[in-house]
Structures are given as structure tokens and as C-alpha cells.
Chains A and B, each alone.
Chain A
């Protein structure tokens, strides 16, 4: 199925850009009329993925992080967060709750757990030395649908 609207951002892997990335994605989704909760869920998941790219993908170096979002029929949103950093040796292990390679920075090791529980689908593809792409998917119910079911 073809996306009916897309966007793509590329920015330096500086931590100051974490807020920029999640806010830009949230603004892109606004025409879908998401609930406050849905916007927060997406912002949180994007923040986790972008932070991973900055903290782990480009540890001690600055590279480019690319965030793209596509809108499909039935209010399905697909977001990709991509880096060309060090990649993940063992994706299964990295996805385990509480696993972190940066405990000294108080990284809780819960980024993937948070993304998984807030989104409908999470895909992680990574090649050591080549980089990581995280794909997040979520169907937006919209305020109208939320109001209907509350009646």
C-alpha cells in the first residue's frame, strides 16, 4: 500500500535535537486528529529511538540521524529512525528490559520496552558497523473515535 503523505528529517546526533525530532513528528501527525494520549505515546517512542541513535549509535561521535514518517489509509502511521552508527551486535539482547551499555549515564535500559508497549509494532534492523533502523508503527484512533467509544 502506498503512503498518501510522507516526511523526512535529517539532523546531527546532538542530544539537543531529541526534542526537535519528537515535536516535528507530533506536528506531522496533527491532521489525523490524534488524542493527547496518542500524541504523547508517539512522542515518547520517537524520543526513545532518537536517543538510542545518539547515545548508542554514534557514541562519542557526531553523525546524521534520519527520521521519516509515512501516513497510510486507515490512519496507520509508520515512523523510521535511522542512524549510520556502530550498529547493534545482538539485537535480541539489546531488546531485553534493563539491558544497557550505558549504566553510568543512568540509562535505564528500558527504551525498547517503552517503544514496544506504546506502539502497535516495533522492528529493529541493525548491522554492526553499518547502523540501525528502528521502525515504529501505530494506528491513530483519533479524538472522534475515542469520544464515540466513551459514549
Chain B
């Protein structure tokens, strides 16, 4: 019915890119955030990028994912950047004021 949700992580120099795919909801985000956090803590990047281009749907669980990674980025002294947001995901982010927290 719905495509599987997963993350592909790519690390180049000190840039950490987490490419998200599928639907982000309360059910699907938990394994993603565990995977992102484990890899980021291991590699300690200077820039953390969450790429939403492959996300077809997200509810406020996606906001929770960004807020949590914002905290993680602060702990690592890294900058958080969001990219590839579709119109739908962008609207949910803006309701939450995420545009003030991270660069889009």
C-alpha cells in the first residue's frame, strides 16, 4: 500500500547527507532517527543535511525528526540543513516554524 520508508546515508569529508525516502509518520521515523544518530555520532560531521526529496508524505513526526536532529547537530557543533522539501512537506515545516531553526 505504501512504499517502505528508509534512509540512505552518505558521508563526504565532514558533510553528512541523510536522504529520506517514503512516508514519515510516527511509525516509520523511529528506525530512521536511530540510524542517523548512530552514524552521525560515529562520524561527527560539521554539516548535517536532511534531504526530503524522496519523501512523499510527512506529518508532525517529520517535525520531531528535524527538532531532534537540530539538537544532535548542536551537540556536535554542526550546522543543520534541510533540502529537497516538496510543497506539502514545506507547509508542515512552516506550520511548526522550522524555517527559523534550520536552513531550507
A and B together in one complex: yes
Contact B25 A18 (CB under 8 A): yes
Contact B26 A15 (CB under 8 A): yes
Our pick among B25, B30, B33 for the contact of A47 (Cβ within 8 Å) is B25
Q: Mark B24-40, 1 if CB is under 8 A from A, else 0.
A: 01111110010000000
> At the interface, yes or no: B11 with Cβ under 8 Å from chain A?
no
CA distance A51 to B60 in the complex (A): 10
Known A-B contacts A37-B87, A51-B26, A106-B33; A114 and B95 likewise in contact (beta carbons under 8 Å) = yes
Contact A110 B2 (CB under 8 A): no
Our pick among B1, B28, B88 for the contact of A23 (Cβ within 8 Å) is B1
Known A-B contacts A48-B60, A114-B59; A108 and B96 likewise in contact (beta carbons under 8 Å) = yes
CA distance A108 to B25 in the complex (A): 12
CA distance A38 to B65 in the complex (A): 24
Report chain B residues within 8 Å CB of A15: 25-27
Known A-B contacts A37-B87, A106-B67, A106-B68; A19 and B59 likewise in contact (beta carbons under 8 Å) = no
Please tell me the size bucket of the interface on A.
20 to 34
What's the dominant secondary structure at chain A's contact region? helix
Within 8 A of A (CB), among B40-57: 57
Q: Residue of A at shortest CB range from B29?
A: A106
> At the interface, yes or no: A111 with Cβ under 8 Å from chain B?
yes
Report chain B residues within 8 Å CB of A55: 26
Contact A110 B95 (CB under 8 A): yes
Contact A113 B25 (CB under 8 A): no
Closest Cβ–Cβ distance, residue B87 to chain A (whole Å): 7
Report chain B residues within 8 Å CB of A43: 57
CA distance A69 to B84 in the complex (A): 33
Report chain A residues within 8 Å CB of B15: none
Q: Mark B73-94, 1 if CB is under 8 A from A, else 0.
A: 0000000000000011001100
Q: CB within 8 Å of B: which residues of A?
A: 15-16, 18-20, 22-23, 36-37, 40, 43-44, 47-48, 51, 54-55, 105-108, 110-111, 113-114, 117-118
Besides the known contacts A37-B87, A51-B26, A105-B26, 7 further A-B residue pairs in the complex with CB atoms under 8 A apart: A47-B57, A51-B25, A51-B61, A106-B33, A108-B61, A114-B59, A117-B95
Q: CB within 8 Å of A: which residues of B?
A: 1-2, 23, 25-30, 33, 57-61, 63-65, 67-68, 87-88, 91-92, 95-96
